[in-house]
């Protein structure tokens, strides 16, 4: 799940580079994708430490 979240963030960042004028429409999704990525990374870290 971390990989998928990271890929989503990657594509949103790529979109921002290509169409910065349109990114304001996707800011909410970008913020949520970053939050999901952070949560998934913490879950993975905690599972590996057990």
Residue-by-residue DSSP string for 27-48 = HHHHHHHHHHHHHHHHHHHHHH
Question: What per-residue confidence (pLDDT) applies to 36?
Answer: 93
pTM of the predicted protein model: 0.74
Question: What per-residue confidence (pLDDT) applies to 15?
Answer: 92
Question: What per-residue confidence (pLDDT) applies to 18?
Answer: 93
CA–chain centroid gap for 21, Å, is 20
- Token pair in block for residue 30: 């970008």
Question: What per-residue confidence (pLDDT) applies to 40?
Answer: 93
Alpha carbon distances (Å) from 44 to 13, 26, 28, 31, 37: 23, 27, 24, 20, 10
Question: What per-residue confidence (pLDDT) applies to 32?
Answer: 93
Angle subtended at Cα 29 by Cα 25 and Cα 11, rounded to the nearest 5 degrees: 90
Tens-of-pLDDT digits for all 50 residues of the chain? Answer: 788 889 999 999 999 999 989 888 889 999 999 999 999 999 999 998 87
């Amino acid at each position: 799940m971390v990989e998928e979240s990271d890929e989503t963030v990657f594509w949103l960042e790529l979109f921002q580079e290509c169409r910065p004028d349109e990114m304001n429409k996707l800011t909410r999704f970008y913020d949520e994708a970053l939050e999901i990525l952070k949560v998934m990374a913490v879950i993975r870290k905690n599972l590996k430490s057990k």
